[in-house]
Structure formats: C-alpha cells, structure tokens
Amino acid sequence: MKVNGTHYRSLWWDEDKGALQIIDQRWLPHEFRIQQVDTLKDFADAIVEMRVRGAPLIGATAAYGMALAARLDPSDENLQKAWEYLDKTRPTAINLRWALNLCRGHLMPLAVEDRAEAALRLAHEISDEDVDINYNIGQHGLEIIRRIAAGKSSGEPVRILTHCNAGWIATVDWGTATSPMYQAHDNGIPIHVWVDETRPRNQGVLTAWELGSHGIPHTYVTDNAGGHLMQHGLVDIVITGTDRTTRSGDVCNKIGTYLKALAAQANKVPFYVALPSPTIDWSVSDGVAEIPIEERAEQEVTHIQGLTPEGTIGRVQVTPNGTPGGNPAFDVTPNHLVTGLITERGVCKASAEGLAELFPDLARLAKSA
C-alpha cells in the first residue's frame, strides 16, 4: 500500500544493505519510522514490543530471523537455538510457530553450506505468498460486500464494522479484514467503515490511518459503541481478522472480538472472519480451552499514548496510582457465532467440516501428523 505516494510493504529486504527493513508501528499514526533489523535480539524485540504485529507479519518476520541465524551460524544447534528464542516471543499467534517450523523443516535436511541462501530465499517466498493470499482473501470478501451492496439504494454505502487492525501493516500487504474493503472501494462500491478504537494500544488508529490513506470513508468509535450501532441498524456486516483459528472454526483475535460477535448475533448482523490458511491451527479443536492467551504488560491498560498539544508523542497515566491493570490480549469467539470464514480459497462455514472441505490437503496432513 502507499504512504505519502510511495508503495511500501510492512517489511522488505534491502539488497544493498543486506538487511531487513520494517515499519516500526509503535509510532503510528503520528510518525512513520523505518527500522533496520540487524541481530536476532532485534528480531525478538521487534515482535515482543510490537514494532511488528499481526499474526501474518509476525510469521514473516520470524522467517527472516531464521535466515539471519542461518547466515551467522547454519549449524543444527544454532538453528534450534534461534527457533526456541523466537518461539518464546509471543504465544498466541500461530503464524509465528508455523513459519519457524516451516523454516526448520526446510533447512535441517540441507547441507550446512547451503542453508543460508535457502533460508533467505524461503523468507522471501513466505512474504510474497502472504501478499498473494491476502489479495485472494480480498477477492472472496469482495463478493460478500458486492451482494450486500446490490440490496441497497444507489449510492448508499455498505456499512462495515471492524475491530483491531487486520490491515496491510498487520500482514506483508493488503491485510486480511481490510483486503475486501480496499478491493470494494477500488471497484467503485461505496463503503463506510466503523473503526473500533480497540483498547488497549488503540490499534483502531492504525486501521483509521490505513483507510484514510486509501480514501475510504470511516469513523473512529469507542469499543463499546458497536452494539449500539448494530441495534440501530447502522451496521451491515462485521469483518475481523484472527490470530489463531482452530480446526473447528473457533477464532482467537484481539480482546473484545467475542463481544462484537455476541452483539452481531443478537442483532442478526453477519459476522465474518478473514484469515490466511497459516492461521489455522489444525492441532486445536476447542479454542476456549486450548489456546494460550497472552497476558501483556499492565502499563498498556493503565497508560495511553497519543499526540500532545505540543506535537510530540507522549504517554499519560489514566488510572489512579496503585490501581493494577489486567491485560489479556486476546479472546476466543466460538464457531457458532461466526457466519463464515473468508480465506484465500473461498468462504466456508466456521466448522470442522467447512474448513476440511476447503482445505482437504491441510486437514489430511494434520490428521496424519
């Protein structure tokens, strides 16, 4: 996508510098900063501190981390150490381990002297594949929006509610939940997006920044406004992303997603989840019982970052001194609340049968593992 007229991916390999470049998302939407990632600690810090965030982008970043490890020391022992080091950074988003396992499984059978080149090539392939996957997600989601638009008066927008940021900066490009929005807009379908603020960290501002840069009409609302908007017929469809999806169709996403799904069901608003296939965890069936929920620092709840009147980025405390903050980063939306899953292969029911029908190869592979 474009920033100030220049096309960017969320991460890219600089051939001249021989190093990965990332957009440091901690400063968005007020400052656009690029960081070079030089060491394995830099990779881990980028993931933990959410300089990069979003399940697909974390996976791609980890792949480049493994490529760095292979360049420095391609031995079995060092690759395993790198795998373990990066795997500990964030426990919930399954794309991280998916990418790490893919890299390890690809590199270990190779001759040691061939691993560095192969690792970098694989990281490039994972990144390029993510772009293609997200574009195709958008193509399938576009048809859902097109059907809703067909039932509206001429010029009346399709009103979409989204939560958190499942946009191009949460992936390598296009995004998951936002890809259908971009493609609907680019195809001349009028849309208006209700953007949840998504506390803590207010990741809705990232979505607002993205949509505004693309010229898509949108309104930034508090997390608790979604139910009210649905109750008054102001939402036609909810589309969110997911950080891990079980083989039965439960979806784990940013905290607050579950409440949106409950409100959508109560008000008969279709609730869709957009996801790339690497986000499916075929080893897990019951998301509520089996998915580990990351508990992040309480300061993300007790403090808030923003632009000061002086034009600098600052952080202020919003709680009384001594009040602790609880910060579960994700929740799980059971499959019965999900209207459908929008994937790169099409749209399916949020169920074991629906996913297996769309991804029979992956389902068989998981069953035999």
Integer Cα distance of 236 and 180 in angstroms: 14
Residue identified by tokens 């296939």 is 277
Task: Examine the domain organization and report whether 168 and 312 are in the same domain.
Answer: yes
Identify whether 112 is part of a domain.
yes
What tens digit of pLDDT does each residue of 275-294 get? 999 999 999 999 999 999 99
Averaged confidence pLDDT in the chain = 96
pLDDT of residue 2: 85
Identify whether 138 is part of a domain.
no
Total domains, the chain: 2
Residues 113, 117, 120: CA angle, nearest 5 degrees = 140
Q: What are phi and psi of 252, to 5 degrees?
A: -105, 120
- Mean pLDDT is lowest, of 35-39, 115-119, 295-299, 364-368, for 364-368
Residue 112 corresponds to which amino acid? V
Task: Examine the domain organization and report whether 224 and 347 are in the same domain.
Answer: yes
pLDDT of residue 20: 97
CATH number at residue 17: 1.20.120.420
Confidence of residue 369 (pLDDT cuts 50, 70, 90): low
In the set 243, 250, 281, 331, the catalytic residue is: 243
DSSP state of 157: P
Task: Examine the domain organization and report whether 168 and 266 are in the same domain.
Answer: yes
Query: Which one, of 252, 332, 241, 245, lies nearest residue 280 by Cα?
Result: 245
66-70-71-75 Cα dihedral, nearest 10 degrees: 150
Query: Which pTM value belongs to this model?
Result: 0.95
Identify whether 340 is part of a domain.
yes
pLDDT of residue 200: 95
Task: Examine the domain organization and report whether 286 and 199 are in the same domain.
Answer: yes
Identify whether 135 is part of a domain.
no
Identify whether 137 is part of a domain.
no
272-273-276-279 Cα dihedral, nearest 10 degrees: -150
Q: Give the end of a domain, one of 128, 163, 182.
A: 128
Give the residue-averaged pLDDT of 24-46: 96
Confidence of residue 359 (pLDDT cuts 50, 70, 90): very high
Residue 170 near residue 275 (C-beta atoms within 8 A): no
Confidence of residue 1 (pLDDT cuts 50, 70, 90): confident
Identify whether 36 is part of a domain.
yes
CATH number at residue 190: 3.40.50.10470
Task: Examine the domain organization and report whether 263 and 153 are in the same domain.
Answer: yes
Q: 116 lies in which domain range?
A: 2-128
The share of the chain scoring above pLDDT 70, in percent, equals 100
Residue 191: both structure tokens together: 């849309």
Task: Examine the domain organization and report whether 303 and 327 are in the same domain.
Answer: yes
Confidence of residue 226 (pLDDT cuts 50, 70, 90): very high
Give the residue-averaged pLDDT of 90-101: 92
Q: Give the end of a domain, one of 128, 162, 190.
A: 128
The share of the chain scoring above pLDDT 90, in percent, equals 95
Identify whether 21 is part of a domain.
yes
Task: Examine the domain organization and report whether 30 and 168 are in the same domain.
Answer: no
Task: Examine the domain organization and report whether 188 and 299 are in the same domain.
Answer: yes
What tens digit of pLDDT does each residue of 142-168 get? 999 999 999 999 889 999 999 999 999
Give the residue-averaged pLDDT of 70-91: 96
Integer Cα distance of 279 and 257 in angstroms: 16
Integer Cα distance of 165 and 205 in angstroms: 8
Task: Examine the domain organization and report whether 193 and 340 are in the same domain.
Answer: yes
Look up 243 and say whether it is catalytic.
Answer: yes
Identify whether 134 is part of a domain.
no
Q: Give the end of a domain, one of 128, 153, 183.
A: 128
Task: Examine the domain organization and report whether 204 and 238 are in the same domain.
Answer: yes
Residues 6+ apart with CB under 8 A from 331: 252, 253, 254, 255, 256, 257, 258, 293
Task: Examine the domain organization and report whether 103 and 175 are in the same domain.
Answer: no
Start-end of H helices in the chain: 40-48, 55-72, 76-87, 94-107, 115-150, 178-186, 204-214, 226-231, 257-266, 287-290, 299-302, 352-358, 360-368
Task: Examine the domain organization and report whether 250 and 275 are in the same domain.
Answer: yes
